[in-house]
Amino acid sequence: MQQKNRYKTLFALFLNLFCFSFFSQNNPVNWNIKLSDSSILFEAKIEKEWHLYAVYLPSPNDGPLPTIFEFNKSNNYSLKDSVTQAPPITHFDKDFGVEVSYYENEASFKQKIKISNDSRFKIVGNISYMCCNEQTCIPLYKDFSIAINQD
């Protein structure tokens, strides 16, 4: 019985390592994140034949996961309004059974901020997003950090 449990544990460990390795090496989106004026710009380069889903989806409770930007709270800055996005492609997706909004090749998003003081600090957060092609969908995650008032 112990031998059987050991094999189950080893199989589960192998499966987790395989999945982590596969997803970490096959990220079809390359992010460029920068500060411009009083906004954080998120620019995504998307590999051919992949889709990155929009922040605002026509059916947010059905279909693919939206792109979500999260910012760690800080007294050094505040967010102004919501994240804005470039106009996405929107159409009915037969696989999801709903209207979807997504990007091909590239996408851009913007978050306006208000800096509260002149000190040096970092804006830290993460992006949760989903990419799909004709065969599969991958949920992904990206941490980001932007230095403010630093040379």
Q: Are 83 and 111 in contact (CB under 8 A)?
A: yes
The domain limits of the chain are 2-148
What are 63-119's pLDDT values in tens digits? 899 999 999 999 999 999 999 999 999 999 998 899 999 999 999 999 999 998 878
Residues 77 and 40 sit within 8 Å (Cβ to Cβ): no
Cα–Cα distances in angstroms (integers) from residue 143 to residues 35, 68, 71, 122, 128, in the given order: 16, 12, 10, 13, 9
Give the pLDDT mean for 37-54. 96
What per-residue confidence (pLDDT) applies to 26? Answer: 81
The Cα–Cα gap between 75 and 131 comes to 33
Fold held by 2-148: Immunoglobulin-like (2.60.40)
Residue with tokens 């932007």: 146
* Whole-prediction pTM: 0.80
Q: In 23-88, where do the E strands start and end?
A: 29-36, 39-46, 51-53, 68-71, 77-85
